[in-house]
Amino acid sequence: MTTVDDVSRPSRLADPDEGISIEELGLAARNHALPLEALRYDVTPVGLHYLLIHYDIPDLDPGRHLLTVDGRVDRPLTLDLAALRERPRVTRRVTLECAGNGRALLTPRPVSQPWLSEAIGTAEWTGTPLAPLLREAGLGADAVDVVFTGADHGVERGIEQDYQRGLPVAEALREEVLLAYEMNGLPLLPQHGAPLRLVVPGWYGMAHVKWLTRITVLDREFDGYQNAVAYRLRTSADDPGVPVTRIEPRALVQPPGFPDFMSRTRVLRPGLCTVEGRAWSGHAPVTAVEVTTDGGLSWAPATLEPATGAAELVNGADPDSAGQRESAGQRESAARGPAVDERWAWRRWRYEWPATPGRYTLGARATDASGRTQPIEQPWNRGGFANNLVQRVEVVVTEDH
Ligand SMILES: Nc1nc2c(c(=O)[nH]1)N[C@H]1C(S)=C(S)[C@@H](COP(=O)(O)O)O[C@H]1N2
Ligand SMILES: [Mo]
């Protein structure tokens, strides 16, 4: 008998000296990273934002797209895009990171999408908050998980499925969680989930379900593939592991100077160099960034820029209650257009480095208000998730000026 097992690969680790395979290259070509020079933009231009698509981009007609809310609710709902757009409208600037970011740097290497450390991007997502919609549907008191189903379909390790992720009900009810229909002020592009996706600020990418068609409330924990099998931190194949949830702190250096084509080693002239980059965490605000120029032997503090205008705007909400919440940041940003909530976005940092001739390995380390920071040596896990190992940027400072 012929089955989907015949086309599907088991999970596996690369052999000690095994290079990246053609299959991994195929995934890397479909799912591109952020070019690190794009760390210069506060908001990543849409085409430069990283991408991760497990199966195919589905063929959806925004004019006929429907979202169903069902399961353990008193009043199941069906809404089209027009109905969602009539609901309260919010814009949040959110840094998204794939849980597999850093995977290809692990030894042994889990064979999957071979990310280095650039599976990130920051966008302004506009949509309507999820929680009021769930409350309108009448969330059952016995609700445990909320399952989000995408329109994309495929097979993974022998299991045929729609892309689905369950989220604990307390997370689904956080006010920041959005049903987003715009990215950077324009309708979502096909690759980013058009016409509708979930945005769960602070969580790794897999939770932000694209091409959203259905929201189902369960009275038990969701045991679908992407929660029970795929996104777990395991030490071995038979370890049940723990779920991958929020983004671990990370800082990235925007590589200074200019690159060598193949090695990406940076070339720099001697003199004072402003080393800058971004830092973020899904657990708590970033409180410190340190920089190394010797591969992690010594560290110096970087200057962290304040988060810009941590304000919130709820269009269509009661103007008085919105007014009461107006902050200094919001009043300031009123001059430059609608306020945007930036609590979940990366922050810029900088460090003045007097570069003298020689070879250097640059990196940066973020620490957040929860005390979490980045390791120099990564505790390994079998899926290659949440690897926030400090980045290594090789730099040559030349003798000539
Ligand atoms: N329906 C659906 N949603 C999805 C995925 C997918 O394959 N299908 N990939 C997830 C993963 S693993 C990540 S990292 C993010 C990537 O979002 P982006 O491509 O918009 O950057 O989408 C998530 N949402
Ligand atoms: Mo991902």
Neighbours of 226 (CB within 10 A): 23
Expressed in angstroms and rounded, the spacing between residue 193 Cα and the centre of ligand 2 is 13
DSSP H stretches of helix in 8-96: 22-30, 81-86
Q: Taking the mean position of all CA atoms in its chain, how far away is CA 159?
A: 25
Contacts of 357 (CB under 8 A, 6+ apart): 270, 397, 398, 399
Same domain for 164 and 270, yes or no, is no
CATH of the domain at 25: 3.90.420.10
Same domain for 255 and 196, yes or no, is no
Domain that includes residue 255, residue range = 250-308+345-397
In a domain, 331, yes or no: no
CATH of the domain at 262: 2.60.40.650
Tokens representing residue 233 in the block = 């931190």
Mutation to probe ligand 1, out of 43, 44, 54 (largest number of atoms < 8 A from CB): 54
Same domain for 93 and 234, yes or no, is yes
In this structure, is the dihedral angle defined by the CA atoms of residues 188, 45, 165 and 315, taken in order, positive or negative? Answer: negative
Q: Which residues line ligand 1 (CB under 6 A)?
A: 49-54, 96, 98, 121, 150, 152, 163, 192, 205-206, 208-211
Expressed in angstroms and rounded, the spacing between residue 321 Cα and the centre of ligand 1 is 35
In a domain, 284, yes or no: yes
285 vs 380: CA distance, rounded Å: 25
In a domain, 161, yes or no: yes
Nearest to 213 by CA among 133, 130, 150: 150
Q: Which residues surround ligand 2, an ion (CB under 5 A)?
A: 52, 98, 205-206
Among 224, 243, 262, the domain boundary falls at 243
Question: Would you say 296 and 378 are in contact if contact means Cβ atoms under 8 Å apart?
Answer: no
In a domain, 330, yes or no: no
Same domain for 199 and 285, yes or no, is no
Same domain for 176 and 224, yes or no, is yes
> What is the per-residue pLDDT for 310?
43
Q: Which ligand is nearest to the CA of 226?
A: 1
Same domain for 98 and 222, yes or no, is yes
List phi, psi (to 5°) of 22.
-60, -35
pLDDT tens per residue, the chain (401 residues)? 788 888 888 899 999 999 999 999 999 999 999 999 999 999 999 999 999 999 999 999 999 999 999 999 999 999 999 999 999 999 999 999 999 999 999 999 999 999 999 999 999 999 999 999 999 999 989 999 999 999 999 999 999 999 999 999 999 999 999 999 999 999 999 999 999 999 999 999 999 999 999 999 999 999 999 999 999 999 998 999 999 999 999 999 999 999 999 999 999 999 999 999 999 999 999 999 999 999 999 999 999 998 764 443 333 333 333 333 444 444 444 444 557 889 999 999 999 999 999 999 999 999 999 999 999 887 899 999 999 999 999 999 999 86
Q: How many domains does the chain have?
A: 2
Q: Which ligand is nearest to the CA of 151?
A: 1
Closest Cα to atom 5 of ligand 1? 53
Same domain for 155 and 267, yes or no, is no
Left, alpha or beta for 358 (phi > 0: left; psi -120 to 50: alpha)? left
Q: Is 139 exposed, middle or buried (0-12, 13-18, 19+ CB in 10 A)?
A: buried
Expressed in angstroms and rounded, the spacing between residue 58 Cα and the centre of ligand 2 is 17
In a domain, 178, yes or no: yes
Same domain for 232 and 272, yes or no, is no
315 vs 123: CA distance, rounded Å: 19
In a domain, 328, yes or no: no
Closest Cα to atom 20 of ligand 1? 192
> What is the per-residue pLDDT for 13?
96
In a domain, 107, yes or no: yes
In a domain, 166, yes or no: yes
Same domain for 93 and 229, yes or no, is yes
List phi, psi (to 5°) of 153.
-135, 140
Mutation to probe ligand 1, out of 32, 52, 245 (largest number of atoms < 8 A from CB): 52
Tokens representing residue 187 in the block = 């309708």
Q: How far is CA 161 from CA 26, 157, 216, 392, in A?
A: 21, 11, 16, 38
350 vs 304: CA distance, rounded Å: 7
Expressed in angstroms and rounded, the spacing between residue 381 Cα and the centre of ligand 2 is 16
Same domain for 234 and 270, yes or no, is no
List phi, psi (to 5°) of 38.
-75, -5
Same domain for 196 and 281, yes or no, is no
DSSP assignment letter at 332 = H
Same domain for 362 and 388, yes or no, is yes
Closest ligand 1 atom to residue 183 Cα is 20
> What is the per-residue pLDDT for 316?
34
> What is the per-residue pLDDT for 338?
58
